[in-house]
Amino acid sequence: MNKKENIEPRTPEKHEQTRRAFLKMGTGAVASFAGLIFAVPFLDSLISQSMRVKIGKFVKVGPVLFLPDGVPEKMFFDERDEDAYIDEVERRDVWVVKNGDDVTAFSPVCPHLGCRYNWNAEDQHFVCPCHGSVFAKDGKVLHGPAPRGLDKFPTKVSNGFLSVKWERFKLGVSKRELV
């Protein structure tokens, strides 16, 4: 028994190769499916955010019947914003001036640097407390560092209720540009 026997390495049987290949393939399929389940919502939010043009919608602000003619009134409203999976409500305000059947809504943000301006009833004009810009009742700049008049929002009146399309404008530029 001194004889050296030829010992060949053991080769797996056909049955074992098939089972191992099946387990590899099954594990890969389960991992791919799990990755896909997590990747789809993530990719959807990335793609939809970058490709979506945020189109403003008209939001009901309130009744115009009781607004005094020719006197600016600050009106508040809630705007709902859905962003991917986050649903939030933001409180907004506008300055509204009613002249007969014509209703104008101004952004509450000064076009100079974004401060909130107020109506001065005594002097009959809007005044920005930050840098002293002064605006007429119709929104035209009277004096100050503001490069343009007050920004107007698109409005519509239906069944006695004012609706406004909220927009944001670039600050500090003479031409009115949406952000």
pTM of the model: 0.66
Question: In terms of Cα–Cα distance, which of 87, 95, 94, 91 is closest to 137?
Answer: 95
Tens of pLDDT, residues 121-178:
999 999 998 888 999 999 899 988 999 999 999 999 988 899 999 888 888 888 888 8
State how far the Cα of 82 lies from the Cα of 89, in Å rounded to an integer.
9
Tens of pLDDT, residues 35-78:
888 887 777 766 665 445 455 688 888 888 888 888 999 999 88
Dig out the tokens for 55 from the structure. 């189109």
Q: How many Cα atoms within 13 Å fall on the side-chain side of residue 53?
A: 2
CB 176 within 8 A of CB 147: no
pLDDT of 57: 82
CB within 8 A of 58, min separation 6: which ones?
154, 156, 163, 164, 165
